[in-house]
Structure formats: structure tokens, C-alpha cells
Amino acid sequence: MSPDHAIEKDVAMCEVANFTVDDDSSLSGPIKGNHGNCSSFMAYFNVVCVVAGTGTLGLPYAFMQGGWLGLLIFFLSWVMSIYTGVLLVNALYGVPNRRMSTFKELSTVCFGWIGGWFTFFLQSWILIGVPSLYMVLSGQNMNSLCQGTSAELTARYWAIICTVFVGLPFVLVKTMKEVAWASAIGAATTTIVVLIVLVVACVEQPSLPTPQHDAVIWPQFPSALATISFTFGGNVIYPNVELSMRHPRQWPKVLAIGLSSCAALYLLCAVPSYYIYGRDTLSPIYKNLPRNAAYMVAVVLMTIHVLMAAPLLLTSLSLDLEEILHLKRFGATKEAIIRSTLRIVILGIVMIIAIFLPYFDLLMELVGSVSNCTLIFVLPIVSYLKLTGVRNKPYYELAWMALIMVFGLVGLIFGTKGAIEGLITRIAQGVPS
């Protein structure tokens, strides 16, 4: 089988249930040469580190918003995210003898320059918004830890300090491979925090009042859907993660195992937490814990996680911008200067957002609504259909795709509305974050 035929067959056979990993020897010429040397194991950690963290903390609150029916939405979102993540990367190979390098390039090929820039705007919203959210959370955590000590500042000052700390690896390293070590640390800290929350909540349960639960809360359900979609929001870095892999044919397996690992952590944290705290569930979930040593450890570890994950997202954004600007044409010295300047500007934007919008739960909901719902549940499917056609698909697959897009559009419309209204209210009233 020729390389072109093998790639075209991969694009056409993107069933979510088919996770058979072929040898990547059929990748040759420019397609194989563009890939990095990162192992599948480290690619797995990249996925887990970026996807897991804040989703673990926010999912119990999403169940509180939407009720137990949120579990159904969670399982749908999990399966749909694996499916569309496979579709997205396979669509990058939809043009013979070429591997499209970015989500923007894929949308440009499919929908012209307007579609390309629209996708890039949504992608940038996540790649700027999520690190900003991480800096908000880090600032709040450090402020909580330092209260009553000589290091006591405000959450906003700590957000500035954390942004500068994150900026060091972000400005100094060049590619995803060079920050891959941070992924392993981030994944480990998230797992430990989940175990801490689970153990402390179970120990504390006998002393708590009987919690109140809801089967479903329809007025808040779209907001819950948006928050749940955020928990599997990794599409923005998938093209760069797959491009960094030594064996890119293993991407479906890496993605499926990575998102399934995240789902296991989510369930281990979210279900017991909502069962124990009910309508009193907070976001992030460790705010429900008593202020003891376990709480301190959880806060420290989650702060480490978000500080490790932020450079991965920011590096992905910078790599996309550098591709658009064609920095390699300037030579090594000028390229390094322009890259550093660009990344410092990105950090400045992150810092401004973290200072002036310090509302963790609503920021999570807004980012999930506007960008994740579109980039996870809508654009990968329409791009795939544009490249491979509609009439050659079985009816059940088209019905499944339609369900996924409806799922995403509901979260986009109603979740965005709720998040913006909540942010306006809190800012106008000066409600603390």
C-alpha cells in the first residue's frame, strides 16, 4: 500500500471504537520528517496534565449546578471528546502528501481564511483563557496559604508573581518536547489531590449535616454542560502533541487512554464529593475541606499542577503564532528575539486577565462555553465531513455526529449567556472571587 493510500484510508476510517494502532512506517517523506521525537508515554502525560487539573476541581460543582443527570452528560462528553479528538488529528492528514500543522490551517483549507481566523480566535481564547484561569487559581491558593504570615499579600499580587514564575520556562524553551517533563509532575500532583479530597471528605462525612441533592436542575443545566465540556478540553493542543510524537500512528490509543485516565480521576473526585456535600459543593472542591494539613497539601499540590500545565498551553499558542509569522525566515538570532518578545506579550495579556477577572468558577464556565464547546464538539466534525464527504457515511454515524454538534451548541449558547451575566453581576457588586 502506498503512503498516500495509507493516509487517505486513515482519514476515512476514523471510528471511535477502532483504536487499533498501526506501525507508522508508512509515514514517509515530509509527513514523517515533520514529527518530533517525543515518546507516546510522554504524549499521554501531556494530554493528562492539560486536561485533568482544573476539571477535577470544577466537576463536583458542575454536578451541584445540574444535579445527578450531569453524570449522563459527563459520560457523553467523555466518549464524544475521544471521538472528535481522533477525527481532528486524522483530518490534519486529509490533503495528500501533507500534514496540516495547526487547527487554523485545517479550518482555512476547509472554510477559507474567514474560517481559519475564526478557529484561531477560539483557539487563542482557550490558550490564553485557561492559563489566565490557572493564574487566578494560583493567586487564590497562595493568598490562602500565606494568610497571617509575613508573605501575606493579595490574591492579585500572587497572581502576578505566579505569572512571572510561569514565564521563565515559557520564554526560555522552544517546543512542547522541552516542557514535557512538567506533564508528568502535573499528572502526579492531580492524582494525589484527588486522593486527598476523597479521603478527607469521607472522614468528614459523619460530622456533616445530611446533604441535599437534585436529580436535575434545568435552569442551571446548560451552565453545568459548559463546565463539564471544559473538563475534556484538550483539542487546542492535540495537533502539537501528535506532531511531537515519534510514533504518530499511536495517537488514537494515547488519546483514548489519556482521556479515560482523566475520566477515572474525575469520577473518583466528583461523585463522592457531590454525594457528601450536596448543594454546599464549592468550586474548586478543596474549598469544602477543613482548614487542616490535608487542605494545605492539596492547595500546594494543585498550585504546582497549574503552574506546570500553563507553559504547555502557552507554548502551544506561541508555536501556532510562530508558524503564522514564519519566524524561521529571519535567521536564528532574530528568530529568538522575536519569539521571546512575542511570548512576553502573551504573558502580559495573561497577567492582565488574571488581575481584573479573578472569578474562577465563572471563568471556567465562560471558557468552556465559548471555545471548548465549539472546538471539541463542532469544528472537528464539520471539518472532517468537508474533507471526506457526507453521503459516504452510514446513517448511524451521521446521527451520532449531529448529536455531538447539538450537544456543543447548547453548551455554547446557554453556558455563555449564564457566565457573562454572572461575571457582570459580580464585577458590578464587587463580590469577592
The helix, strand and coil proportions of the chain, stated in percent and rounded to the nearest 5, come to: 80, 0, 20
Half-sphere exposure of 91 (CA within 13 A, CB side): 29
Q: Would you state the cell numbers that stand for residue 345, as one nine-digit string? A: 506579550
Q: Are 415 and 365 in contact (CB under 8 A)?
A: yes
At 35 the three-state DSSP class reads coil
Alpha-carbon torsion, ordered 73, 78, 81, 82, to 10 deg: -150
CA 260 vs CA 130, 212, 373: distances in Å:
21, 29, 19
Dist CA 180 CA 201 (whole Å): 32
Nearest-5° Cα angle at 138, 137 to 144: 90
The closest alpha carbon to 365, from 223, 164, 171, 231, belongs to 223
CA 187 vs CA 49, 130, 167: distances in Å:
5, 17, 20
At 342 the three-state DSSP class reads helix
pLDDT of residue 431: 56
Q: Which residues contact 291 (CB under 8 A, 6 or more apart)?
A: none
The closest alpha carbon to 179, from 368, 26, 312, belongs to 312
Q: Are 92 and 99 in contact (CB under 8 A)?
A: yes
Quick check: pTM over 0.75? yes
Q: Are 51 and 189 in contact (CB under 8 A)?
A: no
pLDDT of residue 319: 87
pLDDT of residue 109: 94
Q: Is 8 exposed, middle or buried (0-12, 13-18, 19+ CB in 10 A)?
A: middle
pLDDT digits (tens, 9 = 90+) for 82-114: 999 999 999 999 888 888 988 899 999 999 999
Both ends of the chain: CA-CA distance in Å?
Answer: 58
At 10 the three-state DSSP class reads helix
Beta strands in 18-117 (DSSP E): none
pLDDT of residue 202: 94
Q: In order along the chain (433 residues), what is the average pLDDT of each group of 10 residues? A: 37 34 36 71 87 79 91 94 95 89 91 93 86 89 89 90 91 68 81 93 93 90 76 86 91 96 93 95 90 92 89 88 85 87 94 79 69 90 93 95 92 80 79 54
pLDDT of residue 67: 93
Classify residue 211 by its DSSP letter: P
The single-letter code of the amino acid at 292 is: N
Dist CA 135 CA 103 (whole Å): 25
Q: Is 195 exposed, middle or buried (0-12, 13-18, 19+ CB in 10 A)?
A: middle
pLDDT of residue 13: 33
CA 422 vs CA 137, 287, 330, 362, 418: distances in Å:
18, 20, 46, 7, 6
Beta strands in 253-380 (DSSP E): none
The closest alpha carbon to 267, from 45, 42, 62, belongs to 62
The closest alpha carbon to 381, from 169, 110, 52, belongs to 110
